[in-house]
Structure 1
Amino acid sequence: MKVSELNIDQLEEAASMLKAIAHPMRIAILNFLEDGNKMTVTEIHQKLQIEQSTTSHHLGILKDKGVLCSKREGKNTFYFLKHERLSSIVDCISQCTV
């Protein structure tokens, strides 16, 4: 699909998602969730070595903007990429910063 084929609502949604991703910790979260990985808040905050409340805040933003989804299993909530294609954004960023 070409940008010229997108309507204004789709462009607004894409811009909103990119704004949500545009934070170092959120890029790291996307990186952890590549390849269909699912992780809990606890697993993510331990990997990032930041407070759990801060991790929850970042996850909430990503979920609110349609970047992530979550699924509750027992006491745990697992987060994962809403669209696996989003992992290509992380790949692109990684290649562009070398």
Structure 2
Amino acid sequence: MSERPPSLLAHVGALAALALLLLASIAVSRMHLGTWNTVAGPAIAAAKASIVVFFFMKLRKSAPSVHFAACFGIAWLAIMIVLTLSDFLTRWPVVVR
């Protein structure tokens, strides 16, 4: 396989995007957005993870078995999040007297 590596400009662009998203996550963590902090934090983290997965790990050009493993990992993470939230959201509040 004589595949050309990404250019220096592409690496600089990925670095700049990750740096901007880092600054955005720092800014969001310092602002009081109420419930939107819970939405903005994971959204920024997902954007950073997608840059790493698609650019540095080259998931787009990988074998179908790697695609299956990535989808399985995402599905497992979703199951764990749903189970954790179902436990957390169904608890009764503790009243301390």
Greater Rg over alpha carbons, structure: 2
Instruction: Select the structure that is richer in helix.
Output: 2
**TM-score of the superposed pair, with normalisation by structure 2:** 0.27
- Structure with greater strand percent: 1
Q: TM-score, with normalisation over the residues of structure 1?
A: 0.27
